[in-house]
């Protein structure tokens, strides 16, 4: 039997969360086309006849650390490299990005076997550009394997999983076979609401917004969820609510539908929008809203 931890790392929007969801076979990490959608470390547990792998989805590594939120995201991503058995570095460009050298240095310092996953090959119209990039990447560092794939389309994911299993150490599963994550349902409720928020709004507001679950209560076949969407300015609050409350209503309806599928029960969802000025640049505010470093 095999057991171990597998870190999925890379730049923002490289497709790590989509990859996790497809490897697990169930949606755990929220996704969108906007960078920095993932803000927390999420464990996805895959149990199979060969054993068990715990995949660790992480925020995107990036060079900017001007705000407290950016520093938190980088710390969270960095900490995921500690003590893992395999690293899957996900890239989605076919040229060497300036941030890649810093990411490579962090990966090499972790001293774990590394698979370079070249994602989104379904979007590459000229496949001949892949070969020069693969040759360039191969010369940058010792990779256990370089695998072109598409997380969204499921291309080459079987090869990726096969190589991961080969690299995992022997060991007995640490989690029950039917457990797919170590995060509570309350956490995923906030994430599902935040995903709908991100997908419904423009570029500015999602990065200045977060979701806090104030009440999560199961009453027989009904789950009651009261949540606050925190933004940083009054103007952002107005955008989230929308004209006559239509935007907030649409966010709530879409989130409730996903939540009902997730908890497999009827959901009563109540959303408020409130202003907490400068929360994303305050270490104290971040901690109060659940952004705590994981040891």
25: Cβ–Cβ under 8 A, 6 or more apart, which residues? 46
Helices (H), 15-156: 16-24, 68-79, 99-110, 130-138
pLDDT at 293: 63
Using CB atoms within 10 Å of the CB of residue 49, give its burial: 0 to 12 exposed, 13 to 18 middle, 19+ buried. Answer: exposed
One pLDDT digit (tens) per residue for the chain, 295 residues: 999 999 999 888 889 989 999 999 988 887 777 666 777 778 899 999 999 999 998 877 766 667 788 887 778 877 778 889 999 999 988 888 888 888 898 898 888 999 999 999 998 877 778 888 999 999 988 899 999 999 999 999 999 999 999 999 999 999 999 999 988 899 999 999 999 998 888 766 767 889 999 999 999 889 999 999 999 999 999 999 999 999 999 999 999 999 999 999 999 999 999 999 988 888 888 888 887 765 4
pLDDT at 65: 61
Q: Please, what are the domains in the chain?
A: 2-167 (3.40.50.300), 185-288 (3.30.300.20)
How far apart are alpha carbons 121 and 123 in whole angstroms? 5
How far apart are alpha carbons 198 and 210 in whole angstroms? 10
């Amino acid at each position: 039997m095999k057991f171990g931890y597998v870190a999925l790392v890379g730049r923002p929007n490289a497709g790590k969360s989509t990859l996790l969801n497809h490897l697990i076979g169930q949606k755990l990490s929220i996704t969108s086309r906007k960078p920095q959608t993932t803000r927390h470390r999420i464990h996805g547990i895959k149990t199979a006849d060969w054993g068990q792998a715990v995949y660790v989805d992480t925020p995107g590594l990036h060079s900017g650390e001007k705000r407290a939120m950016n520093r938190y995201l980088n710390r969270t991503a960095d900490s995921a490299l500690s003590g893992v058995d395999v690293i899957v570095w996900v890239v989605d460009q076919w040229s060497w990005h300036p941030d890649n050298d810093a990411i490579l240095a962090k990966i090499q310092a972790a001293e774990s076997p590394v698979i370079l996953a070249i994602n989104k090959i379904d979007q590459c119209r000229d496949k001949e550009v892949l070969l020069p990039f693969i040759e360039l990447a191969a010369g940058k560092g010792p990779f256990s394997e370089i695998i072109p794939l598409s997380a969204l389309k499921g291309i080459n994911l079987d090869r990726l999983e096969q190589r991961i299993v080969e690299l995992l150490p022997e060991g007995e599963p640490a989690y029950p076979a039917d457990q797919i994550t170590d995060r509570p349902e309350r956490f995923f409720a906030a994430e599902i609401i935040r995903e709908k928020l991100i997908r419904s709004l423009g570029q500015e507001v999602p990065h200045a917004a977060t979701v806090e679950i104030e009440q999560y209560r199961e009453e027989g076949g009904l789950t009651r969820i009261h949540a606050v969407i925190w933004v940083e300015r009054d103007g952002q609050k107005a955008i989230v609510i929308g004209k006559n409350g239509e935007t907030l209503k649409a966010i709530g309806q879409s989130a409730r539908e996903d939540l009902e599928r997730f908890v497999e029960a009827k959901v009563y969802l109540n959303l408020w929008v409130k202003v907490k000025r400068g929360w994303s640049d305050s270490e104290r505010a971040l901690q109060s809203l659940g952004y705590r470093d994981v040891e």
